[in-house]
Structures are given as structure tokens and as C-alpha cells.
Structure 1
């Protein structure tokens, strides 16, 4: 009965929005009786309610949860998680639907509200049914939303933050047949649309004081979500919406520099997956990367690749069936003699020496990207170099006039084109083999050269020694212990490299992520 009444309430709200959609958001995609408004709420349902005590018990049942308890502290608030769907647009501006989670704290006197509201953006996933609202159902083969969702709930919602976390277009409950991966304009708009829809959910009967906002708006996210978070801060600022502070983690903010580094042979872990996602995204958005997939991809992979990711098929299965190479992005034969030293590079700039041995695995004879396409990007880099990579310039800006279509797309989505007016903390670890730490360093230097207010932006390397009066000293000590534990476990299992390979495999998704999330909360608690 309660569910039926809730659905009737949403239907009535949707009807009202359909007749007066401009009241929801100024970004309406049409007008009049046929109006489809961005941020319009389509449906909502409660996914989970947990008391602080029961949430603590849930966390204590797994090693990951126990680590979260140690890092984030014991939950002090009850949580209610709602799943909702809302209208937004895809990478080409086409109307579509996205879904999101709304996590609401409640319980004792300190959790009754009003609360700060946080926008959270999640990391890269290949699983089409990814749902960050579902924190109790885990499918390790597919990597659903449980792992990141439970961390968001533990670190933020259970500590008093209202959290809105989009699943993004192309994932759970979205009919879009692709995901607009690292499309800064689309992804930030999608997140803002989720905010509008979440606020509609919070006006429905039964929420009371638990969903009252205190006027503070924070933005954070990790990996892909770090990029999305910073793009969202930029979009909110441009729209005149006050951001209290943002704290992106390990994102490819200097996207054009990151792409140039990869093409020059600094092939990051996961590069074959990232390449398919971003190329599919930009081809849908701009339509000019290639005339047919075989212009970019080798013939063994081109058939069907535009519909390959995201998928319900685990990536290990895709690798086993030959749909994708696991690591070999480029051919081991140089695309031209002058680029032999980059195939792979022996002394790449801007990255720690510990990462250099990894790059060789990005080359082979079962490569994903055609040598001719790599050559076109390398030649354009020579003529139109990035301002930060490989040789830093004073401005540190992207290339002024790249001529190659994919490099143009990366520049278009690079975040070196604005200056924040609210505090920003960029968090990461300097040994990151998936999203190189130089992204944060380059973005920070760009902002300083663009005359950002002194002290407004900062960079945190959780994998560094604590300094005098360091507010993150305890966090850095905890990180060092977690990193050492991974290495020690690998050595006990027979590793002969002091556990370095195991550390690098776990570094980005498992070791750095929770510490940057806790750092973001500590940063936000200052406001």
C-alpha cells in the first residue's frame, strides 16, 4: 500500500512538472505541452534503510568494510537510500534518462538536520547495470555499485551528509546505448540534473527534517568521478550556483596532456577499456573521429566495438573471447622510425620511475589501436604540442590549435579552461598507474598561472610523508600502513619484487580511493 501511494505521488508530481516544466530547471529541452524537462523526476523508490548500529554490523562482516570502519569511523547516523530516475540528455544532446542514489542521514539528535548536501561522482565501470544505490548486492565479476556505494554511505551519509550520486547516462535504468564518458559538458549537466531531481524527491511526503539542507553544497568524486566532480564545479559556478567547496580525487583533469602521454607510450593500466569508452563517447558527441571503426581499431576488434562497452559481460570474458586485448593498446612496431623511442618509452617525463616498466605491457602484436591512427596523433603533437606535456611551458594550457580530431576532442574536454572561485582540494597518490598524478599537479600550476586566489586551491598526495603541522598527517600514516600491508601480503604469497606489482594493481582503486574520500570529508568539515 505504501509503495502504491508513493508511486501515485510521483505520478502526480510528474504530471505537474509536465505542465510547468520550466519551474524545474531553466535547461528545458523543449517548450509547451510537449516539454521534456531536464531534471524531471520519473520515479523513485526506497532501496534500503539501515540504523547506524546495523550499518556498523554490515561493515564489520567484510575486510573492506572493516577497513572503512577504521578509516572513516563508526557510523553515527542512520541512513535511508533511495533510487530515482530523471530526465537528462546524452552526449549529442539527445533526450534520455539517468538514475541516481539519494542517501539521507537520520537518527539521533546530531543527525536530524539540517545537513550539508554533497554531489558524488563515481569512478569508471564497464558494467551497464551499475547502481550505486544498491550497496548490499555484490557481483565481483561485474563490479556493480556496492563497493563504491558502501564507501560513499559510510564515509559521507552515515556521518551526516545528504548525498546525491548519479549512476550516469548509459547505466542502471538508462536507455542510452552508450555512456558519454569524460564528456565534461554532458556529465556535469547530468550530475546537476540529478541534483534537481533529488531535491524533488526530498519534497515528497515523509522526509521531514532529515532532508533539510543547511545551505552548503559540496562536490566530490573519484577517478572518472574526480574529473566529473571538477567539471560539475565548473558548470555550477558558470550557472551562478554557489559551491561551498569541491574535493575531486585522482581524476584526469588535464585530459589532453594525459592523452598525449598515453599516445607517447605511457600506457596506463586499464587503457584498452578507457580507450573504447572515450572513443565511443566522443564519436557519438562529435562524429568526426573516424569514418568507420576500422579506421581507428585493428580489424580483429573493429566489428561491434561501438556497442561493446558498457556491458553486462565481465571484462575478463571480453578479453578471453578476443573482443578486447587486456593490455596491448599499441603495436610494438613503431608507427614511424622517429617514434621508435616511444614504443615503449624508456624515460618518460612527469611520472615516477617505478611506473616505467609497466608501459611495455601496453605494446604487442595483438594491439587495439591501428598504428596509422597513433601516427596521426603523434605527428600532430609535434606540430601542436600541449603546454604541459612533455615539456612544460609557462601557461601549462592545452595545445592551442590541435588539428587531429581526437586531440581536438580531448582539448574540448580538458579542464584547464577555468578558475574556481570556491576552495578546491585535488587528492591523489603520486604512484598512480591508472590516472597519473601529474593531472593534479598540472591543473594546480595552470590555476596559479591563471591567477587563482592564493590558497584557494591545493593538492594532496596521500602517498607522501607527513609534514610539520600537517592536517592530513594521520591520513598519510594510515595510507602508508595500508600500502605496506598490500606489499607484505604479496611477498608472503611469493612475490619477488617486494610486492610492488601488487601495490600498483591495487593502488588506484583500492588503496588511494578510501583515503582521498576521507580527506575530502575532512576538508569539507572545515566549512
Structure 2
């Protein structure tokens, strides 16, 4: 969920990466589908740049991000970053379009030749309207490229409806059915363009994502399964799978870091889908923030500017005198705050009276979009990875609860693997010992407790959960 820093890829790194290749013009023979139908490929993918292993390595090293290569391994393949647009739907089923990236490996290394596995990757929360997974200038895209495409995976990475060139005036954030359809539509469209960009896929399809993307990737695995599309395996990383209960936790006062960003994204998503989260924004939001908040995120204005100009509070989700206020969560109570106490009290009252059968519109929407209320069991294996001290997407409430849910549904223990990267290796044969050891070193180098807290979800966990995911996929 958290706005991802992906700090291992610095501004200097992405500047160098942007200079490593030139954009190509669309093929003269591009095949256009202007129907806007879900899964339609609007035009043949366009190559933006190609990076050789040497160029990619040099750029990362020059920018001081060589430590990332210690996690991902040295690049083996050339990577061509392709941009594409596809038809999909919004949260209320309205026709729209979105864009994304297709990373295609190439080169002489055996890992880069012949039919390659496909990874459908779902990105984490971003406040940047211009987020573009087709560009190595995006830090998350660069990490995914280094981790997967440079090692021989064809990566399909949607930007989602509401981002980049999408005309949808909002993002259907954590809308289970829409987000699942969105990324599956992207995969469907991308496959239609594979031949034009020399992307030759084998029969293996993997699905993964981080944070918001972990939720989306699990939703996509479910949707593909229900549609009868074979998925080889999934790796869902630090996702808010247990959305309804997680929301109850936040409103109880145990607020997650970044809640003042996630709340407007989620509330607007549900309001545009169901129309009943509030009568007007001022019913939910304090007057200081109510005007314009429905169109605030995602934004072309930098996040820091939104915070420093008073468009959003940095941490104060609730009023200073709003109760309950659990010890240790005082940071999230203050003035000016985002959510009105009257609205919070209504949510809390419903949670008290109707804990498992919500009636308040916000709780109804959250539980409706909860991956653990869908009465489904994965037919393909999955890895659930995160860190136990995550202050943004609580590990126990989401990852551990998801494992317990699937176990209760009769899913064999070996079919759903849980990895806490913030734990000691169980033995010298622990298959995740390198990810755990690497995380421990990175955590120790991050600084004091406050620095670790700030870096935990958006910087420390992502490389190591992605490395674990790649290792997990390698067994199939």
C-alpha cells in the first residue's frame, strides 16, 4: 500500500538509465484496436529503450546502487522496455483504457534465449499520476527489471486505470474485481503484441506484486483461476489481503504508516464504485481537506508538495481528542487531522455491533473487497512474503491471517508458503536463508529505530521479498 520509495534506485541511477537508449517509433504495420473492449491492444507496443547488461550494471554502479545487484545478481540479458495501451474498465464497470510496460529479455546468454516465462507484475501504491512501469526512470520498474527481466523473464507490468495516459479521473484503488480485471486485461492485450516485439513466451505464467500490488496479484491469481487460465505460481508480497479486518484495525486507532495517503485513494475508489461512502466529502473529511480531495490523488504534484502546502496531513488521520487512542500510535492523532471524529465514531459503532456482518457503507465496501471473504482456495501454489514489523501493511493481520484462512479451507500446507524476511534462518538448508540474511544486514545498516521504521515497507523489504519470489518461481 505504501508509496514506494525503492530507494536503492536513486535519482542519479534513473537519470543514467534514461540516457542508455533511445526511443523507437511505432512499427509502420502497427495493428490498432480502437474498440476499447477489455483486453484489447490499442496499438502495437512501442520500444522505449534497450539496456545491455553492461549498460544496466554501469548505470546502477555509477549511481551508488551496486548493492541492489548483490540482491538481484548480475544482469544476464539485454532488456527492451516497451510501452503499450489496453482497454479495461473502471470501478463501476465504465469503459476506459490504461497503459503499462512489457520488458523483454534478449541476448546470447541461454537464460535470455528461446521461449521465456512470463511474469505479470502489479506495482505498489503511488501518488504519482505519471507512474510508468514501461520506463527504467521509474524506480520500481528498474528494480523489477533487474530482478526478473535481466534474468530472463518477460515482464508485463500494468500502470493501472487512472494512471499515466488512462483517461479515468480516479484510480479504483483496492477494488478487488476491477483491479484483477485491469491486470488480466493488460496481460491479454500484451500477449497480442508479443510477436511484434519478439517476445516468445513458454507455458509458464507467474503472478506477483508488492504492497497494493500484492493484493492485486492475489486477486489476479484468483481471477485467472476462475477463468480457467493456468497459472504456474503466485508470489504475493506485503499485501493488504485482509482488507476489511485491516480497516477495522486502523479505525480502532492502530493506524498504519501512510494512512493519510491511502485513505483518500481508498475512499474515492469506493465512492466512485458504490456511491454511498458519504453524501458529500465533508461528511467524512475535516473541512480543511474536504474540498478537492476526491480528485487529489493520484497527482502530478509531488507528494512532498501536497504535504507542505496543506493538501494532506502528514500523519494525523484522526483528531487529537478522538478516542480510542492506543499507546504507541499517538503520531496518527493531531491537528489538523483528515477524518472527522463523527465519521470515525460511526464506523467504530458498526464494528462493535456488527463485527462480521458490517452495515456501515465503508465497512461493507472494505469487506466486499477483502480477499479472505471470497470463499476461494488457490489451485496453484503461492508464496506470501513480508516482514513481521511492517508498520504499513501489518504482517500478522494480513499475511499470517491469509495463511490461516487458506489452511482452514483445506489448502495443503506446502501449497501456501509464508516467508517472514525479518526472521532468522531456520537452518543451513532454509531455502530463504539468503533473503533473511540480506534483510538483516540491510536493516542493521539502515540506522536507528526511527530510520528503520520509515524504510521498512518501502525500501527494506521489497528487494528481499522479490528475490525470494524469484527463487520460489525457479522450482517450477
- Return the match for 1:363 from 333, 337, 343: 333
8 Å Cα contact 2:317/2:333 also seen in 1: yes
Matched, 1:378 2:379: no
Q: CA deviation at 1:8?
A: 3.5
Q: CA deviation at 1:366?
A: 1.0
Matched, 1:473 2:422: no
- Return the match for 1:522 from 467, 471, 474: 471
Superposed, 1:104-143 pairs within 5 Å as: 104-110=104-110, 111-136=112-137
Give the TM-score taking structure 2 as reference length. 0.92
Matched, 1:457 2:416: yes
- Return the match for 2:155 from 159, 163, 171: 163
Compare CA radii of gyration and give the structure with the larger one. Answer: 1
- Return the match for 1:419 from 377, 382, 405: 377
- Deviation track 1:413-441 (CA, whole Å, cap 9, x = no partner) reads 10002210100110000010111102100
Q: CA deviation at 1:36?
A: 3.5
Separation (CA, whole Å) in 1 of partners of 2:434 and 2:289 = 47
Separation (CA, whole Å) in 2 of partners of 1:303 and 1:516 = 39
Structure 2 portions without partners, runs of 5+: 1-22
Q: What is the SS of the residue equivalent to 1:242?
A: coil
Q: 1:288 maps to which residue? A: 276
Q: 2:49 maps to which residue? A: 48
Separation (CA, whole Å) in 2 of partners of 1:480 and 1:524 = 23
Q: 1:258 maps to which residue? A: 246
- Deviation track 1:228-258 (CA, whole Å, cap 9, x = no partner) reads 0111001111111111000011010001111
- Return the match for 1:405 from 353, 361, 364: 361
Q: 2:66 maps to which residue? A: 66
- Return the match for 1:9 from 24, 29, 38: 29
Separation (CA, whole Å) in 1 of partners of 2:253 and 2:276 = 24
Matched, 1:441 2:433: no
Give the TM-score taking structure 1 as reference length. 0.83
Q: What is the SS of the residue equivalent to 2:379?
A: coil
Q: CA deviation at 1:213?
A: 1.3
Separation (CA, whole Å) in 2 of partners of 1:187 and 1:373 = 27
Structure 1 portions without partners, runs of 5+: 19-34, 137-145, 335-339, 347-356, 386-398, 488-498
Q: 2:462 maps to which residue? A: 513
Separation (CA, whole Å) in 2 of partners of 1:168 and 1:67 = 30
- Deviation track 1:451-495 (CA, whole Å, cap 9, x = no partner) reads 1133100110000010022111121111100100012xxxxxxxx
8 Å Cα contact 2:24/2:47 also seen in 1: no
Separation (CA, whole Å) in 1 of partners of 2:100 and 2:148 = 16
Q: CA deviation at 1:112?
A: 1.0
- Deviation track 1:367-419 (CA, whole Å, cap 9, x = no partner) reads 1001111011101111122xxxxxxxxxxxxx2x2000000010011000221
8 Å Cα contact 2:78/2:105 also seen in 1: yes
- Larger RCO, structure (CA 8 Å, separation 6 or more): 2
Q: CA deviation at 1:3?
A: 5.5
Aligned Cα RMSD in Å? 1.3
Separation (CA, whole Å) in 2 of partners of 1:477 and 1:36 = 47
- Deviation track 1:282-340 (CA, whole Å, cap 9, x = no partner) reads 10011010110001001111111111111011122112221111110001223xxxxx4
Separation (CA, whole Å) in 2 of partners of 1:112 and 1:220 = 23
Separation (CA, whole Å) in 2 of partners of 1:50 and 1:315 = 30
Separation (CA, whole Å) in 2 of partners of 1:503 and 1:109 = 38
Distance 1:36 1:474, change over 3 A: closer
Separation (CA, whole Å) in 1 of partners of 2:413 and 2:121 = 26
Q: CA deviation at 1:109?
A: 4.0
